[in-house]
Structure 1
Amino acid sequence: MANANIYTYGLAKLLPYQEIEKESDVRYENESNEEYNVRQMYMMNESKNNAIQVAYKAANQKVTVKYDGIYVLSVLDNVPAAKYLHAGDLITKLMVMPLNQVRNSFNM
């Protein structure tokens, strides 16, 4: 995310798909630059993966979705996990149990 300046304001007026948004409309409250960037990359990857899945289904091809774990997008400062987790981390095990087993046992 970049701050707006005179040039970006001009482009936003001239180009049909350019817009200037308030930062508060784009970012979550108290979201750091790192968390924002991680969230954006996650959403772009999810969009790409969803498009691939739709394309395979449209071509009548088999699609297998692999569950890798829980992707950390942000961590609250006042929780014990803040010492250990950071935006962008991938949690693959919970108390030594692979997450796909945890997921099945809790019916998530």
Structure 2
Amino acid sequence: MEVIRGDTPYEEIEPMVAHVRESIIVCGHTHIQFDRMVAGKCIVNAGSVGLPSAARGACWGLIGPEIELRETLYDFERAAADILKSGVPMAQDFEDHVLHPSEEGP
């Protein structure tokens, strides 16, 4: 249930992962990419494809022998227009975020 961010202090994360056997931990929720080592564990957040923060594209990652965090650019204006036409709840908020992503997350 804890939230791990790229800037969460090492001392806060260490007890969260102390009993995890896996060497790679993938987390989410913050929509911001990071890759860091804590207590011998690689902790990765790939970001968000649909609602990225601190990025100007769809964020994702490749996990293999190496961790590769990637960002794919797309037509932001078209995506924003499609969101408004979709009729989804909070379309205006999503449209605004696509055109003006927040550094803090959604």
Q: Greater strand percent: which structure?
A: 2
Instruction: Looking at secondary structure, tell me which structure has more helix per residue.
Output: 1
Pair member with larger Rg = 1
TM-score by length of 2: 0.22
By relative contact order (CA 8 Å, sep 6+), the higher-ranking structure is 2
